[in-house]
């Protein structure tokens, strides 16, 4: 079976090296030495000044919303993973969707201003598949209306925009280190901000709002990650560059094989680097997508409709609304297998099935 993704696992003895340290210290969680070491290594690797290691990208989003004291309406994208929207609702705010750009698949910055009302307090936009949003336009709007910006950079580990880490943009950016991500710590997330005071606040919130012995300075949550998770993060970090270059090679193989295929690809932000986190293709019709999926599955290849359905039309706690571009793209986008161990022969096989289905489909 070829899965759509498989987690990278470091050599077990390198992981055990950290686990032995945990056994020796008997310090399992509560921002222990491995968590702190991971934060330090990640700050260097990503070239960001302020960063927190948390339990997940989702908790990172929730802490970001809370730390920025957001209320009312938050403008967001319907084309993302459910956590982007659910974090807003969970924090008692109201998601206001703005449709996406049909090329980049990120929020359409030209449509944001018309959605702003006196109740709008922030924009929460996703760098979809790691492809940065129109950051300059979003920042301009946020400055004009004095609203905050959170970037959901769950997919954007190691991406740079205009030569700087993607995590340095917006008031707060979050990243996911979940096992399905190109770099992971089994479960995990990052909260990054340029503002040291805001980081301090988020850091207190990560630990129940505890500011000292028997002292609480704020409302908080348990967003601390364990030493076991940090151990996986540390063991994996050494391999990130290798993981990204392997994914690049696989991506280039797909690109070469699918040159003649009748499908489109998201248009990448010209000022951004790539991390090859996903390989999404946009097929001509939903029926063709279903045919491709079915035939691949018959051949033991799993793909994923990511993101489908559009968040504006499938959440039981929100009224369903139509957003033509997001509705259309989400029906036609398919992520193909992409992971460190995927062989180029397997890529050739996957592409041959896709091309065969396309050639056999009458229009």
List residues binding ligand PLP (CB under 6 A): 56-58, 80-81, 83-84, 126, 152, 154-155, 176, 178, 189
Report the distance separating Cα 82 and Cα 311, nearest Å: 7
Cis peptide before 309 (omega within 30 of 0): yes
Output 181 or 253, the one with its CB closest to ligand PLP.
181
CB of 84 to ligand PLP, least distance (A): 5
Instruction: Give whole-number Cα distances, 57 to 182, 183, 200, 223, 306, in Å.
Output: 14, 13, 18, 10, 17
Q: How far is the CB of 307 from ligand PLP (least distance, A)?
A: 8
Rounded least distance, CB 261 to ligand PLP, Å? 25
Nearer to ligand PLP, 64 or 351 (CB): 64
Say how many C-beta atoms besides its own lie within 10 A of residue 316's C-beta. 5
Closer CB to ligand PLP, 18 or 307, in the complex: 307
Contact 337, 276 (CB under 8 A): no
- State the burial class of residue 139 (Cβ atoms within 10 Å of its Cβ: 0-12, 13-18, 19+): middle
Q: 184 vs 331, which CB is nearer to ligand PLP?
A: 184
Neighbour count for residue 294 (Cβ, 10 Å): 11
> Which residue's structure tokens are 């300075």?
217
Residue 192 has phi, psi (to 5 degrees) of -130, 145
Cβ 35 to ligand PLP, closest distance in Å? 16
Contacts of residue 158, Cβ cutoff 8 Å, sequence gap at least 6: 45, 46, 182, 183, 240, 244, 273, 275
Please state the closest distance from residue 309 (CB atom) to ligand PLP, in A.
15
Nearer to ligand PLP, 80 or 193 (CB): 80
Q: Please state the closest distance from residue 286 (CB atom) to ligand PLP, in A.
A: 22
User: Which one, 37 or 152, has the nearer CB to ligand PLP?
Assistant: 152
Q: In the complex, what is the shortest distance from the CB of residue 184 to ligand PLP, in angstroms, rounded to a whole number?
A: 9
Q: Which of 349, 361, 128, 362 is nearest to 258 (CA)?
A: 349
Q: Output 95 or 189, the one with its CB closest to ligand PLP.
A: 189
Q: Specify the residue, 88 or 263, whose C-beta has the smaller distance to ligand PLP.
A: 88
Residue 189 CB, nearest approach to ligand PLP (Å): 5
Contact 230, 35 (CB under 8 A): yes
- Choose between 174 and 342: whose C-beta lies nearer to ligand PLP: 174
The pair of structure tokens assigned to 51 is 């960063």
Preceding amide of 307 cis, omega within 30: yes
223 and 54 in contact (C-beta within 8 Å)? yes
Q: Identify the CA nearest to 107 among candidates 271, 320, 315, 310.
A: 310
To ligand PLP, the closest distance from the beta carbon of 326 in angstroms equals 14
Query: How far apart, in Å, are the Cα atoms of 7 and each of 16, 17, 30, 222, 236?
Result: 18, 20, 26, 26, 11
The residue number whose beta carbon is nearest to ligand PLP equals 57
What is the closest distance, in whole angstroms, from the C-beta atom of residue 270 to ligand PLP in the complex? 22
Nearer to ligand PLP (CB atom), residue 109 or residue 154? 154
Judged by DSSP in three states, 240 sits in helix
């Amino acid at each position: 079976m070829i899965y759509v993704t498989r987690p990278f696992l470091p050599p077990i003895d390198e992981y055990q090296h950290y686990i032995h340290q945990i056994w020796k210290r008997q310090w399992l969680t509560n921002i222990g030495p491995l968590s702190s070491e991971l934060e330090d290594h990640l700050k260097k690797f990503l070239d960001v000044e302020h960063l927190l290691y948390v339990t997940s990208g989702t908790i990172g989003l929730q802490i970001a919303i809370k730390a920025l004291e957001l209320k009312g309406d938050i403008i967001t994208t319907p084309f993302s993973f459910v956590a982007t929207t659910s974090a807003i609702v969970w924090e008692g705010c109201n998601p206001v969707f703005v449709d996406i750009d049909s090329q980049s698949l990120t929020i359409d910055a030209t449509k944001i201003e018309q959605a702003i009302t006196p109740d709008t307090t922030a924009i929460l936009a996703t760098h979809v598949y790691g492809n940065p949003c129109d950051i300059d336009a979003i920042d301009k709007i946020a400055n004009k209306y004095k609203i905050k910006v959170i970037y959901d950079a769950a997919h954007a580990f190691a991406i740079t925009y205009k030569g700087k880490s993607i995590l340095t943009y917006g008031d707060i950016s979050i990243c996911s280190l979940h096992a399905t991500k190109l770099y992971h710590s089994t479960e995990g997330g990052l909260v990054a901000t340029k503002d040291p005071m805001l980081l301090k606040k988020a850091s207190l919130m990560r630990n129940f709002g505890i500011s000292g012995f028997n002292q609480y300075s704020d409302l908080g949550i348990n967003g601390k990650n364990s030493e076991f998770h940090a151990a996986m993060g540390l063991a994996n970090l050494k391999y990130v560059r290798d993981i990204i270059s392997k994914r690049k090679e696989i991506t280039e193989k797909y690109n070469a094989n699918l040159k003649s295929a009748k499908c489109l690809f998201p248009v990448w932000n010209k000022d951004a680097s790539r991390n090859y986190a996903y390989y999404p293709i946009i097929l001509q019709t939903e029926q063709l997508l279903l045919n491709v999926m079915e035939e691949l599955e018959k051949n033991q290849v799993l793909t994923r409709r990511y993101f489908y359905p559009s968040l504006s039309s499938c959440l039981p706690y929100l009224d369903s609304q139509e957003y033509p571009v997001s509705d259309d793209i989400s029906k036609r986008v398919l992520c193909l297998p992409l992971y460190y161990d995927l062989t180029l022969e397997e890529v050739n096989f996957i592409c041959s099935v896709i091309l065969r289905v396309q050639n056999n489909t009458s229009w």
